[in-house]
Structures are given as structure tokens and as C-alpha cells.
Amino acid sequence: MQHHLEAAGFATRLFVTPANLIPDAERTPPALFLLDIMVPGGDGLDVCRRLRANAALSTIPPKIPQGLKPLVDSIRFVPGINPRPTG
């Protein structure tokens, strides 16, 4: 996915684990977060909760690839992950 985004002209930053994601994003906020539910050394849902709880990052949308859409639909309204219903 990173290759395709960069080929289309998007700048990307890859984090193999969520450990440095929040501090790095606070220094240089991205336009969006493209996340996976399953990440080594962490949990993508926990990352979403942490992003939503961070005042500096809470307005930046987290997106999960469409391949996980059935799972995302089942967790759409988990408190702290997506506080607003989406259409």
C-alpha cells in the first residue's frame, strides 16, 4: 500500500509498531492515519483510542483499509474509537 500511495504522489510515514506514532504525529501532524487493526507490539483499536484521546490529534481522521470493512462495521460505535456515527 505504501508503494502505491507514494507512486500517486503522497508522502507516507511507516510505523512497524505503534510505540513512536503519537509523539511523531504530534511533532509533524499527518493529513490522516491509515491504520491496520492488527499491528505488531500493539492493537490498532488501541491506537485509535489514543488518537481520539489526544487533543492535538483527535481531529485527524483514522482510516482502516476496506479489506477489514466487515470488522470495522462490527466495531463502528465502540466508545473512544469513533465517537460520531458515520454514514
* pLDDT tens, position by position, 47-66: 888 899 999 999 998 887 76
C-beta separation of 2 from 14 below 8 A: yes
State the DSSP code for 24.
H
Average confidence (pLDDT) over 26-49: 84
Position 27 pLDDT exceeds 90? yes
Residue 47, judged by CB atoms within 10 A of its CB (0-12, 13-18, 19+), counts as buried
User: What is the distance between the terminal CA atoms of the chain, rounded to a whole angstrom?
Assistant: 25
Beta strand pairing status for 42-43 and 33-34?
unpaired
pTM of the model: 0.66
Q: Quick one: which of 12, 11, 68, 4 has its CA closest to 37?
A: 68
